[in-house]
Amino acid sequence: MSKEKYIQILVDRAAAAGIPPHLIHALKKTGLIMSEENRNNFSAAQRRAWDDAVAEPIMSESTIRDLSAEAARERLSDLLMVAIPRGPAYHSGYVGDEM
């Protein structure tokens, strides 16, 4: 079995088990399964790669579609770490829609 096939099986089983998406993303990206209990068994470079992958913001297109407009704005604001302006010019339509 190829490494890619093996990782995909692990990813599928992790998702079915309810493992948080950021950890599944790190598994896919690094090919590692790391926890606080076993992280000392990995090299500094592997720990850094895992930590970087865990910290990456992930949001699939289906997740974006499933979020309400307000929740999507809040999530985007959190990811960008900036405030999305609200006020008289704000409306919930798409760019180009008439107000």
Q: What is the mean pLDDT of each run of 10 residues along the chain (99 residues)?
A: 88 89 89 91 94 78 64 68 49 47
For residue 94, the model assigns a pLDDT of 45
The answer to whether residue 10 sits within a structural domain is yes
The answer to whether residue 45 sits within a structural domain is yes
The answer to whether residue 32 sits within a structural domain is yes
For residue 43, the model assigns a pLDDT of 95
The answer to whether residue 19 sits within a structural domain is yes
Residue 78 to residue 64: CA distance in whole angstroms: 14
Phi, psi (degrees; rounded to nearest 5) at 5: -65, -40
DSSP summary character for residue 37: T
Answer whether 0.85 is exceeded by the pTM: no
Name every residue whose Cβ is closer than 8 Å to that of residue 22 and which is 6 or more positions away in sequence: 54, 56, 58
Print the domain residue range for 7: 3-58
